[in-house]
Amino acid sequence: MTTPSISAVHPASSAGAGAGTRKLKGGILSLGLTVYALVTLYPLIWLFISAFKTNEEFYSRPFGLPDVWNWSNYARAWEVADMGTAFMNSAIVTLLALAITLIMGALCAYVISRFQFRGKLLVMGTFMLGMLIPIHSTLVPLFILMNKVDILNTYAALILPYTAFELPIAIFVCVAYMNTFPKEIEEAAMIDGSGYWGIFLRMMLPLSLPALATVGILAFLRYWNDFSFALVFISDPKLKTLPLSLSIFATGYSTDYKLTMAAMALAVIPTILAYLVLQEQVMKGMTAGAVKG
């Protein structure tokens, strides 16, 4: 800001100076923001660069680039950490849980949004309660329960609780979205002779795609990244998911840093790809998920 006395004397030049300082300020701000963003991204950049190094380079020049980019680190990490198995397990568990979450969530949301029945408030209240319970406090109770029904060390030990804990947010996001549809569209379908299943499959599901996308992204990231449930419910090496096998690998190979880095880099590629493609939806979805869940 220039002072009024100067601007009274040289109106034209002061306007130029004002714009100049504003530009300078804007430049400094942009520079500061860029630095902040790079600092935020640095741990990740460091991860991907370190994964190409030798162990010596990792110790002696942690900030430098590798002399030779060792792609073989990735291949070796894949093999040594048995990441094929872990990727497969994570993919199976995530996809199955995702499918069940979306189908059950959408169907439940359709019923809650469109039908009147006794006990509706009770049902909604029950699901609401689920969003208040801190997920980690249930590790011991769930372990005891799954031990009793004998499903520890199965895919179901992850798929079922993942789905159960994700259902409330899935239902509430979908109900909020379906409530905005006008009633007329179903009445038209009713006259055409579609039953409730027909309306659900041919009308509600396609119309709810944006809400389902939000729910799906959120669920995908939670399932793919989950560590605590896998840690407590899975001990069979053949069933270990990616985060669990990474944590074990990092402890076991604690001095072979390049391999651990390469294994981690491989493990984060799917979520980073998903993020690069869908960043706006991921940001909105995860923020909504944080507020509601």
Partner 1 sequence: MSSALRIRGFIAIGLLPALALFVFFVIVPILWSSYYGFFDWKGIGAMKFIGLDNYKEVVQDRLFWHSFKNNLLIVAASVFGQVPIALLLSLVLLKNGWFQKFIRASIFMPMVLSSVVVGIIWGYIYHPQIGILNFLLDSLGLESWKMQWLSDPAVSMYAIMVPIIWLNVGPYLIMFIAALQNIPSEIDDAANIDGARGSRKLFSIKLPMIWDTIKVAVVLCISGSLKAFDLIYVMTGGGPANSTELLASYMYNNTFSIYRFGYGSAVSTMIIIISLVLVAGSQYLMKSKK
Interface residues for partner 1 in 134-173 (CB under 8 A)?
134-145, 147, 160-161, 163-165, 167-168, 171
Which is closer to partner 1, CB of 8 or CB of 144? 144
Q: Provide, rounded to whole angstroms, the least separation between the CB of residue 221 and partner 1.
A: 6
- Tell me which of 129, 188, 209, 269 binds partner 1, using CB under 8 A: 129
Task: Report the sign of the C-alpha dihedral through residues 154, 155, 157, 158, in that order.
Answer: positive
Query: In angstroms, what CA-CA distances link 160 with 47, 128, 167?
Result: 33, 19, 11
Contact between 23 and partner 1 (CB under 8 A)?
A: no
Which is closer to partner 1, CB of 75 or CB of 273? 273
Triad 123, 159, 244: Cα angle to 5°: 130
- Tell me which of 133, 185, 209, 269 binds partner 1, using CB under 8 A: 133
Tell me which residue has tokens 């979450």.
Answer: 101
d(CA 22, CA 35): 20
Query: In angstroms, what CA-CA distances link 238 with 242, 272, 279?
Result: 11, 26, 33
d(CA 232, CA 90): 16
Which is closer to partner 1, CB of 18 or CB of 195? 195
Binders in 48-107 for partner 1, by CB under 8 A: 58-59, 62-63, 104-105, 107
Residues 6+ apart with CB under 8 A from 84: 78
Determine the straight-line distance between the first and last CA of the chain, rounded to whole angstroms: 45
Amino acid at 141: P
Q: Provide, rounded to whole angstroms, the least separation between the CB of residue 63 and partner 1.
A: 7
- Tell me which of 15, 227, 236, 237 binds partner 1, using CB under 8 A: 227
Span near partner 1 by CB under 8 A; candidates 14-22, 179-187, 203-211, 243-251: 243-251
Could you tell me how many residues of this chain bind partner 1 (CB under 8 A)? 87
Which is closer to partner 1, CB of 153 or CB of 271? 271
- Tell me which of 21, 34, 72, 179 binds partner 1, using CB under 8 A: 34
d(CA 128, CA 113): 15
- Count the neighbouring beta carbons within 10 Å of the beta carbon of residue 222: 21
- Tell me which of 108, 169, 211, 262 binds partner 1, using CB under 8 A: 108
Binders in 175-204 for partner 1, by CB under 8 A: 195-197
Which is closer to partner 1, CB of 95 or CB of 164? 164
Query: In angstroms, what CA-CA distances link 43 with 37, 39, 40, 264, 277?
Result: 11, 8, 7, 12, 21
Span near partner 1 by CB under 8 A; candidates 2-10, 11-19, 43-51, 78-86: 43-51
Span near partner 1 by CB under 8 A; candidates 67-75, 108-116, 172-180, 202-210: 108-116
Residues 6+ apart with CB under 8 A from 72: none
Q: Provide, rounded to whole angstroms, the least separation between the CB of residue 285 and partner 1.
A: 10
Binders in 245-264 for partner 1, by CB under 8 A: 246-247, 250, 257, 260, 264
